[in-house]
Every structure is written in C-alpha cells, then in structure tokens.
Amino acid sequence: MSRPSFGARLAAAMDSRGPLCVGIDPHPSLLAAWDLTDDAAGLRRFALTVLDAVGGRVAAVKPQSALFERHGSAGVAVLEEVVAAGRETGTLVVVDAKRGDIGSTMEGYADAYLRDGSPLAGDALTVSPYLGFGSLDPAVDLALATGRGLFVLCLTSNKEGHEVQHARTEDGVSVAAAIAARAAAINAGADPLGSVGLVVGATVGDAADRTGTDLTRVNGPLLAPGVGAQGAGARELAAVFGAARHQVLASSSRGVLAAGPDVAALRAAAVRAAEEATAALRPS
C-alpha cells in the first residue's frame, strides 16, 4: 500500500504539531558544550538525545548529513540510525544533504536517499538545482513515486548565494524565480501541498520581491532555515514570506539545541519554538 504524499503528510504534521523543524546539527562546538566526545559515540548520544526530546512533538527533524559524514562510515551509520529512529517516533525526517549532480550520479544519489528500503531514505531530501533544474529529474521522479519530498535550494542566506540566485537569464527572469516556477509546475493541482518544496532562508529579507520570485504560487512547502538563534523572528518571517507564510516550515537548530543536553530542557525549548513559529506563521 502506497503512503500518502510527502506534501500531504507534512501539511498534517504542521497543522497538528506546529510548523517547526528541529535541526539535528552536531557541530563540534555543540558536542563540547554537551560534554560529549567529538567522535561517533558522542555523535550518536547527541542525535538520539535530540530525538528523544522532540520526536513526536514537532513536525519534522532535519539531520545535517555533513556533520555525520565527517566521522566517516561510523558517522554515516549513526545517520542511518537517526533516520530509522525518527521514523519510529512518527516524526518526518528531512535529510539535509543538498545533493545535486547529473545523469547516473544523480540517479545514485536519488537511490541512496529516496528509495524504499535504503537506510538513508528519510521522508525528504534537500537538493541543489544549480546544474540545471532538469538535472534533478531522477530525484523528482523517485520522490514522487515513493511518497517522499524534496526541498530545492532557491533563495539562501549565505552572502555568496545572490551571485547565482539573483542572476537573470536572457529573458530577464531571475534564476530563483525560474527554480520556483519549475517547482510550481510539478506541484500544480496538489492538495493541500505539493511535495517539491523550496529552501528559502528566513533572513533573506525582500529577496523574493527583488528577484520576482512568487512564493505564493509554489503550492509546496517552504523550508526556512535561520529561525531563532540566527536572528529571524515573526517580523523577518512576515517580510520574507508575506502571503505564503502558511506554507512555511520554520527550521531552528541552535535555538533549540543550546538547551541540551537535558532532555526536559530540550523538549521545552522545542515546544516554545513551535509555539512561536505558529504565532508568526499562522496568526489567528
């Protein structure tokens, strides 16, 4: 029996638990702050503690693949364990790996992160479209076939991002706007949300307006990193997303993780962040 689409599952999770995604980002500095060793054992303790605290209480979690990969095969094994553990809690797992390539290599990445039975396959994957949106076709096809989702980098908060994302083609359309339009075409007709979302930084200000990127037409989820410790609150979210706020899945990492390693404190921080995201993105 096929699972419901990722877009439908995420919409239901945001409605019931609030529009918050907690990043599982085991930076060396956080491991040290938690008095954990910077190795696979410390990594495992960190990640599973976060899941114990927030699993089943937030819409999604987002393990940052690079911070697991830096520990080699043992770290990747921990990532596989986190994906499985997240699934057991009923929490959606967005694997933040930002994969993007062409041809058979992209097919390989899709197989690793989106195929049923793969130990790295969560509920969604972040991907990069900057070898051309069409290069993502293997990931799009497999995600939709398996009820999974994608978050495509569109307007990111890093200072170098505008060099590509704000650039315009010969017909005057910005790269960001073209990416959003391709996602919108895939999501057309989906209800309540399509499964191909965008990554739009919560601190990019009026970048959508300046690039002519119509986020309201995407009809898919908008993953918004940068909420909390990175400076984005209700005012910033309103400025970036405007009428598209109801589509936003706010992502907070350090703002929640700094409360650890105490499970109760982590849980309270996540609940507080979810309430704040709901107030900012879904005002009554």
Residues belonging to the active site: 98
CA distance 67 to 146: 26
Q: What is the 3-state secondary structure (H, E, C) of 194-255?
A: CCEEEEECCCCCCHHHHHCCCHHHCCCCEEEECECCCCECHHHHHHHHHHHHHHEEEEECHH
**E strand or H helix that includes residue 124:** strand 124-127
Q: How many other CB atoms sit within 10 Å of the CB of residue 165?
A: 22
> 197 Cβ partners below 8 Å, 6+ apart?
7, 124, 149, 150, 151, 152, 183, 218, 220, 221, 222, 223, 247, 249
Looking up tokens 């290069």 gives 135
| Token output for 250 | 């706010």
Cβ(23)–Cβ(64) below 8 Å:
yes
220-254 in b/e form (b: 16+ CB < 10 A) is bbbbbbbbbebebeeebbebbbeebbebbbbbbbe
Cβ(208)–Cβ(199) below 8 Å:
no
CA distance 219 to 230: 26
Which 3 state secondary structure label does DSSP give 273? Answer: helix
